[in-house]
Amino acid sequence: MSGTGTPPPVTTVDLRVIASGSGGNLSILSIRRRDDPRPVHVCIDLGIGPRTLARRLDAHAPDIDLDHVRAVVVTHPDTDHIRPTWRRSLESRGWPVFAAPSHHAALARHGVPGRQLLPLTDGGRRAPVVKGLLDVTIALGPHDDHGSAVLRFGLDTGPVPKTIGWATDIGRVTPQVRDLLAGCDFIGLESNYDPVLQARSSRPPFLKERITGGHGHLSNHEAMETVHSMTDHDRLEAIVLLHLSRECNDPEIVRRLWNDRGSGLAARLHIAAQDVPLDSIRIFESIDHDTAGLLPYPDLTSAS
Q: Which is nearer to Zn ion, 47 or 158 (CB)?
A: 47
Q: Which is nearer to Zn ion, 4 or 79 (CB)?
A: 79
Q: Which is nearer to Zn ion, 80 or 185 (CB)?
A: 80
- Are 194 and 250 in contact, with CB atoms under 8 Å apart? yes
Q: Which of 14, 45, 80, 194 binds Zn ion (CB under 5 A)?
A: 80
- How near is the Cβ of 217 to Zn ion at its closest, in Å? 8
Q: Which is nearer to Zn ion, 212 or 286 (CB)?
A: 212
Name the residue type at position 274: Q
In the shown chain, the binding pattern of residues 86 to 105 toward Zn ion, with x for contact by CB under 5 A and - for none, equals: --------------------
# binding residues, Zn ion (CB under 5 A): 2
- How near is the Cβ of 148 to Zn ion at its closest, in Å? 8
- How near is the Cβ of 81 to Zn ion at its closest, in Å? 6
Q: Which is nearer to Zn ion, 43 or 236 (CB)?
A: 43
- How near is the Cβ of 170 to Zn ion at its closest, in Å? 10
Concatenated DSSP letters of 187-255: EEEE--B-HHHHHHS---HHHHHHHHSSSS--BHHHHHHHHHHSTTGGG-SEEEEE---SSS--HHHHH
**CA–CA separation, 13 and 30 (whole Å):** 6
In the shown chain, the binding pattern of residues 150 to 169 toward Zn ion, with x for contact by CB under 5 A and - for none, equals: -------------------x
- 190: contact with Zn ion by CB under 5 A: no
**CA–CA separation, 12 and 21 (whole Å):** 27
For Zn ion, which stretch binds (CB under 5 A), given 51-59, 72-80, 152-160, 248-256? 72-80
- How near is the Cβ of 190 to Zn ion at its closest, in Å? 8
**CA–CA separation, 51 and 186 (whole Å):** 29
Name the residue type at position 149: A
Q: Which is nearer to Zn ion, 12 or 102 (CB)?
A: 102
- How near is the Cβ of 195 to Zn ion at its closest, in Å? 19
SS3 content of the chain, % helix, strand, coil (to 5): 30, 30, 40
Q: Which is nearer to Zn ion, 169 or 194 (CB)?
A: 169
**CA–CA separation, 180 and 264 (whole Å):** 23
Residues 73-103: b if buried by 16+ CB within 10 A, e if exposed = bbbbbbebbbbebbeebbeeeebebbbbebb
- How near is the Cβ of 243 to Zn ion at its closest, in Å? 6
Chain residues that interact with Zn ion, rule: CB under 5 A: 80, 169
